[in-house]
Structure 1
Amino acid sequence: MANDSAAIGNLFQAIAAKSNDEQVDILLEKAGMRLERIVSHGHASAPDFWYDQSEHEWVTVLSGWGELTFDDGEVVRLTPGEHINIPAHKRHRVSATSATEATVWLALFY
């Protein structure tokens, strides 16, 4: 769905069954920004892994819940409707997501 044609989509459809990897779908990509739907089923980052992105990331949880841990020790738990803006190069990891329902994230990278 990452093209210029008018298309209707549903963020809660086409969710794959649980697998070893999170499901990542690029919904829109333009110069300087990318919008992704990420689906987690109890996924978490490896204990020694940190995201250190060159882009800012605004992320919200649409269903389920997710917990982010930052390298300064801050822990943020997001539930449906809550969102956070993560500045570029602020090291973070996904420390936990719901194991009983799909956690659907919407992430805007800019």
Structure 2
Amino acid sequence: MQVGNLLTGLPAAKRAEAFTELLARPGVRAERIVSHGQSTPEDAPMVQDSDEWVLLLQGAAGLRIEDSDEVALHPGDALWIARGQRHWVTWTAKDRPSVWLAVHFE
């Protein structure tokens, strides 16, 4: 048995977010995302071909989904982003890494 810890061995992620695939099976993919001060440009929203459930494990962040107000996320907060929905990470903590668990459903 091998035990892993998603909060150890974090990449610096100061220039760009760091994505690490954790699991890939037919119909589902899980990844760890490490952010450190990044945000999504207003004119370049993220739009995905799959549904996504995201959980903030560490740090803090703001997220906005089209036609909704920005929400502040803290450790333990999770939300659903439907495929095709435009969304923006409006801010992430600059003083410490923000660590996300993202699960994509094909």
**TM-score, L = length of structure 1:** 0.89
Could you tell me which of 1, 10, 22 is aligned with 1:15? 10
Please say if 1:61 is aligned against 2:42: no
Q: Which stretches of structure 1, 4 residues or more, deviate above 2 A after TM superposition?
A: none
Equivalent-residue separation in structure 1 for 2:50 and 2:40 (angstroms): 19
Give the Å deviation of 1:26: 0.4
Identity of aligned residues (%): 36
**TM-score, L = length of structure 2:** 0.92
Alignment partner of 1:104: what SS? strand
Could you tell me which of 43, 48, 55 is aligned with 2:43? 48
Structure 2: where are the runs of 5+ without partners?
none
Deviations 1:19-42 (A, max 9, x none): 311011000010011101000001
Alignment partner of 2:33: what SS? strand
Aligned length: 105
Answer yes or no: is the 8 Å Cα contact 2:63–2:70 preserved in 1: yes
Structure 1: where are the runs of 5+ without partners?
1-5
